[in-house]
Amino acid sequence: MNIDIIDYDSCSAAGVNVVALRNSLSQHTSGLIKNDLPGSELNTWIGRVKQIDAVDDLNQWQSRNNALAALGLEQGTLRNTLSGLQKKYGSSRIGLVMGSSTSSIDRTETAYTCLNENGELATAYQQPLVHNPHAPSLFVAHYTGIEGPALTINTACSSSAKVFATAARWLECNIVDAVLVGGVDTLCLSVLHGFNSLQLLSTNPCKPFDHHRDGINLGEASGFAILQRSGENENGSGIRLTGYGESSDAHHMSHPHPEGLGARMSMTQALQRAALEPEAIDYINLHGTASRANDLIEGQLVSDLFPKTTLCSSTKAWMGHTLGAAGITEAIITMDVLNTNVIPGSKNLETLDEALNFSITATDQHKVCQHVMTNSFGFGGNNCTLLFSKVR
The residues carrying an active-site annotation are: 157, 287, 321
With the C-alpha atoms ordered 209, 213, 216, 217, is the resulting torsion angle positive or negative? Answer: negative
Q: How many helices (H) and strands (E) does the chain have?
A: 11, 16
Q: Residue 349: CB partners within 8 Å, gap ≥ 6?
A: 207, 208, 209, 210, 360, 361, 362
Q: Helix crossing, 326-340 with 18-27: angle to 10°?
A: 70
CB 188 within 8 A of CB 106: yes
**DSSP 8-state assignment for residue 331:** H
Q: Please state, in angstroms and rounded to a whole number, the distance separating the CA atoms of residues 117 and 110.
A: 16
SS3 state of residue 38: coil
Strands (DSSP E) found in 292-335:
311-313
SS3 state of residue 217: coil
Strands (DSSP E) found in the chain:
3-12, 33-34, 45-47, 94-99, 150-153, 178-185, 218-219, 221-229, 239-248, 283-285, 311-313, 342-343, 359-360, 365-366, 371-378, 382-390
251-to-111, 248, 271, 377, 378 alpha-carbon distances in Å? 35, 8, 23, 13, 12
SS3 state of residue 243: strand
Q: Please state, in angstroms and rounded to a whole number, the distance separating the CA atoms of residues 176 and 284.
A: 30
Q: Which helix (H) or strand (E) holds 108?
A: helix 105-111
Which residue type does 224 have? F
